[in-house]
Amino acid sequence: MTHPYFLKVAYAGGGFHGWQIQSVLRSGQGDLWKALQAFDPGAPLPQGTGRTDAGVHARAQGVLIHTARAWEPFRLLMALNAHLRADIRVLAVQPAPEGFFPRQHAVAKRYVYRLGLGPAADPLQAAFRWQVHQAVPLDLDLMAVAASPLVGTHDFTSFRCSECGAATPVRTIHDIRIVPLEGGAELVFEGTSFLMHQVRIMAGTLVEVGRGRRPVNALDGVLRSRDRRCAGQTAPPEGLCLEKIWYEAHWGVGEPSPWGEREGL
């Protein structure tokens, strides 16, 4: 008999080659497994919710682990963090219900893409932003208008990379917001799930609109083309962070999704 626990894990992605375990390269999943095995050698591989790419950050990666004995949650959190490097941390632990699987039971995610918009990169923020250099300020209002055709359920073939192995390119985006900040901006994407590089390609395409290199009404045509060549550049990974995940409410893991649950639940 093993004991399941749900973890909220944060990591600065610059030191990792993604979440998913690698044979040689460092990964979030690999680091967490090593930490767990340090005091529970037979523990199975931790299971995460989102497969963040190399260089992408996470503030709320949801992870399921199984331990050989029961733990008080805070003591388990402290034990794991004692064996982790400073750029990855377990932020919260709770017992997980039997039958809960984070990847299968997630209903929505929030990704935030952060831009630096000053004349020079802020050295305290540079590892977590894409610094957009240009003489004319980025037009955030145009970007917000341009993003509207992406909201809803669509075939997002134009916004996924060629290596994406998803069975279908159809995804639902609930909301896209452009939030101005001092010295930068946040592009907030909330949806059921996302294709490989989808958020980074959408961010790169929206920045082209903000720079005046693409008309404000262009994204509807890009979406309908179902052709990756019609979309913009893939924004660099350092600006992207997995900020929040919502799960099916009946599991009691986290707060309920503001958009309800999938059909049939």
Name the residues annotated as catalytic. 53
3-state secondary structure of 55: coil
Angle 62-66-69 (CA atoms, 0-180°, nearest 5)? 135
Tell which residue, 170, 115, 149, 171, has the closest CA to residue 218: 149
**Token digits for 209?**
């609109």
Residues 68, 42: Cα–Cα separation, whole Å: 8
> Burial level of 168, CB count in 10 A (0-12/13-18/19+)?
exposed
DSSP 14-77: GG-S-SS--SSS--HHHHHHHHHHTT-TTPPPPEES--PPTT-EEEEEEEEEEESS---HHHHH
The answer to whether 222 and 146 are in contact (CB under 8 A) is no
CA 106 from chain centre, in angstroms, equals 13
